[in-house]
């Protein structure tokens, strides 16, 4: 039994759908897939993509990303859509709750963590880091137009979603833990290390300070409480493996074709990467 990770598949794009369809229907039948958000804003595409992964993996675990909570004119608000996504997952057999797999010494519990990002000025849990020479925002952040909260004034989505995790974080699983979130749990994951692709010396895109919308330190606090040996995350469209404070942090994003072609997201032989058993992760890290 192996555990694989993938995020940011953006199944709205034909090139990405073809890569998903090309995954073996035989090789992963005993395995689990962590799908860390940003499949599609369209519930029909989300359902079909989840069904495609279910046909390939024994277990599929999922948390929504920011794209899933986009709403269009006339649709419900983003929290209502979040609940609709949870119901859809339950009807398909996709887990959004802690799931223990394997047996004996091979058992591991996979704990999904709902989350959001905290922008600068919204709270002390923001991952925002100012640039030495801050540029005017040239990029449009779609969430500002397509995410709609029921209480737009004073509502803190990062607090709301991490509060939903409280019972699962406080549980004693009495076994080894993998956790995952869509959003970034700590600021040092944002920056490129030696040998990793970066489009700027600071690790940010030229015209957009990603740390503004990266994640929240509240996710990291919950990872520490869980004692996770591995934490999978997405959102940034950078594929990274880091070891901090005894926890492996893994991002394996499919991203967009232009990101893969440009080298910002590695174009791998397989779109899924192993994160468990740890020997698979250590081997992948040594070869990267």
- Residues 25-76 pLDDT 10s: 999 999 999 999 999 999 999 999 999 999 999 999 999 999 999 998 777 8
Alpha carbon distances (Å) from 192 to 178, 197, 246, 264, 271: 24, 7, 20, 11, 21
Question: Which residue range forms the structural domain that includes residue 126?
Answer: 3-287
Residues 31-52 as b or e (16 or more Cβ within 10 Å = b): bbbbbbbbbbbbeeebbebbeb
Please give the order of strands across the beta sheet that includes 59-62.
59-62, 32-35, 3-6, 273-276
Helix (H) or strand (E) holding 178: strand 176-180
- Structure confidence at residue 192 (pLDDT): 79
Question: Residues with Cβ < 8 Å from 14, sequence gap 6 or more?
Answer: none
**Rounded mean pLDDT, 126-153:** 80
pLDDT band for position 255 (cuts 50, 70, 90): very high
CATH of the domain at 269: 3.60.21
Strands (E), 22-121: 32-35, 59-62, 99-101, 108-112
Distance CA 10, CA 18 (A): 12
Bridge partners (DSSP) of residue 62 are: 35
- pTM for the whole thing? 0.93
Question: Residues with Cβ < 8 Å from 264, sequence gap 6 or more?
Answer: 197, 199, 237, 238, 255
- Structure confidence at residue 29 (pLDDT): 96
Domain count of the chain? 1
- Structure confidence at residue 20 (pLDDT): 95
Alpha carbon distances (Å) from 166 to 160, 161, 240: 11, 10, 27
The 3-state DSSP class for residue 69 equals helix
Relative to beta strand 3-6, strand 273-276 is antiparallel
Question: Tens digits of per-residue pLDDT, 199-226?
Answer: 443 344 456 789 999 999 999 999 999 9
DSSP string, 197-216: --SSTTSSBTTB-GGGGSBB
């Amino acid at each position: 039994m192996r555990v694989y990770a993938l995020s940011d598949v953006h199944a709205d794009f034909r090139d990405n759908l073809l890569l998903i369809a090309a995954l073996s229907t035989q090789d992963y039948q005993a395995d689990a897939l962590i799908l860390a958000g940003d499949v599609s804003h369209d519930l029909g595409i989300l359902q079909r993509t989840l069904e495609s992964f279910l046909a390939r993996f024994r277990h599929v675990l999922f948390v929504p990303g920011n794209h899933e909570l986009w709403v269009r004119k006339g649709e419900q608000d983003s929290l209502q859509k979040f609940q609709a996504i949870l119901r859809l997952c339950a009807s398909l057999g996709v887990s959004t709750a802690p799931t223990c797999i394997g047996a004996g010494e091979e058992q591991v519990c996979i704990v999904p963590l709902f989350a959001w990002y905290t922008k600068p000025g919204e709270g002390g849990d923001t991952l925002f880091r100012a640039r030495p020479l801050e540029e005017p925002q040239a990029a449009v952040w779609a969430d500002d137009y397509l995410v709609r909260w029921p209480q737009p004034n004073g509502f803190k989505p990062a607090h709301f979603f991490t509060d939903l995790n409280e019972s699962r974080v406080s549980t004693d699983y009495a076994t080894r833990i993998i956790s995952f979130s869509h959003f970034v749990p700590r600021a040092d994951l944002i920056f490129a290390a030696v040998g990793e692709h970066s489009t700027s010396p600071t690790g940010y895109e030229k015209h957009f300070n990603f740390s503004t919308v990266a994640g929240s330190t509240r996710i990291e606090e919950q990872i520490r409480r869980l004692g996770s040996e591995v934490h999978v995350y997405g959102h940034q469209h950078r594929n990274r493996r880091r070891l901090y404070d005894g926890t492996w942090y893994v991002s394996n994003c499919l991203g967009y074709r232009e990101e893969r072609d440009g080298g910002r997201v590695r174009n791998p032989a397989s779109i899924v990467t192993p994160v468990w058993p740890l020997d698979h992760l250590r081997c992948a890290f040594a070869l990267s």
